Amino acid sequence: QPVLTQSPSASASLGASVKLTCTLSSGHRSYAIAWHQQQPEKGPRYLMKLNSDGSHTKGDGIPDRFSGSSSGTERYLTISSLQSEDEADYYCQTWVTGTHVVFGGGTKLTVL
Amino acid sequence: EVQLLESGGGLVQPGGSLRLSCAASGFTFSNYAMSWVRQAPGKGLEWVSAISGSGGSTYLADSVKGRFTISRDNSKNTLYLQMNSLRAEDTALYYCAKDQDSSDWTYFDYWGQGTLVTVSS
């Protein structure tokens, strides 16, 4: 079963860019992941599915400021032109189809 | 517009029972697997249970196996989670999540707003 590792926190200034990282356990470098955003006091929101080759499929209404990329076992979420509403917890998720679903521990993003 | 509306949460004593419901709209409910994901206060997301679109396949996490049951009524577009023998560690916000796949659980493309379950004497 894959394991996902995320840094507990990150911060960046309003208007800047930030790159969040989700690391897959070794042996799982071919796995796709999904990124989800959870704003304070709200339910999670699907951002995108991110494949091992860096291609990604975004959810409905997700702005172009959100993009994904991949390198080896690392999966990235880049948010450009940071806005105050981007301050949220970001979770990565992966799966073994029909068997397991796994979440990373989440990264709390602070917009300065 | 896809909507998932959870209900049924509340305060229950240890050992008690609750049944959560998730009313779905805006998509063909029977075509998609569904899951329950919970979040303890101040903690991250934990996948709890899943069911295929037909209802023929289900999954329960080890932490709830033998106590919780997942089911769905495709004629009512509703997902359920029957929770028995509740423990303090089951205290959490419970989210209903729509899978992007029909028969197997993969990743979630829509989420509800959650219903709070508090287990305490």
**Separation in Å, CA of B98 to nearest CA in chain A:** 10
Q: At residue B104, does pLDDT exceed 90?
A: no
Structure tokens at B24: 């779905």
Contact criterion met (CB < 8 Å) for B105 and A101: yes
Q: pLDDT tens digits for B69-84?
A: 999 999 999 999 999 9
Minimum-distance CB partner of A43 among B35, B107, B114: B114
Residue showing tokens 């303890």:
B40
Average pLDDT of chain A is: 96
Per-residue confidence (pLDDT) for residue B96, from 0 to 100: 98
Per-residue confidence (pLDDT) for residue A38, from 0 to 100: 98
| Neighboring chain A residues of B116 at a CB cutoff of 8 Å | none
Q: At residue B102, does pLDDT exceed 80?
A: no
Collapsing DSSP to helix, strand or coil, B31 comes out as: helix
**Do the Cβ atoms of B38 and B48 come closer than 8 Å?**
yes
Minimum-distance CB partner of B107 among A42, A93, A98: A93
Q: pLDDT tens digits for B46-67?
A: 999 999 999 999 999 999 999 9
* Structure confidence at residue B95 as a pLDDT band (50, 70, 90): very high
**CA-nearest residue of chain A to B115?**
A43
**Cα atoms found within 13 Å of the Cα of residue B105, Cβ hemisphere only:** 26
Per-residue confidence (pLDDT) for residue B87, from 0 to 100: 98
Q: pLDDT tens digits for B27-40?
A: 999 999 999 999 99
**CA-nearest residue of chain A to B41?**
A41
Name the A residues in 50-109 with CB < 8 Å from any B CB. Answer: 59, 91, 93-95, 97-106
Mean pLDDT of B12-40: 97
Q: pLDDT tens digits for A62-109?
A: 999 999 999 999 999 999 999 999 999 999 999 988 888 999 999 999
Between A22-26, A61-65, A91-95, B104-108, the lowest mean confidence (pLDDT) is in B104-108
Beta bridge partners of B60: B49
Among the listed residues B104, B99, B65, B63, the one whose alpha carbon sits nearest the alpha carbon of residue B79: B99
Per-residue confidence (pLDDT) for residue A98, from 0 to 100: 81
* Structure confidence at residue B8 as a pLDDT band (50, 70, 90): very high
Residue of A49, A91, A101 for testing the chain B interface, max B β-carbons within 10 Å: A101
Minimum-distance CB partner of B45 among A44, A45, A46: A44
**Do the Cβ atoms of A61 and B119 come closer than 8 Å?**
no
Collapsing DSSP to helix, strand or coil, A86 comes out as: helix
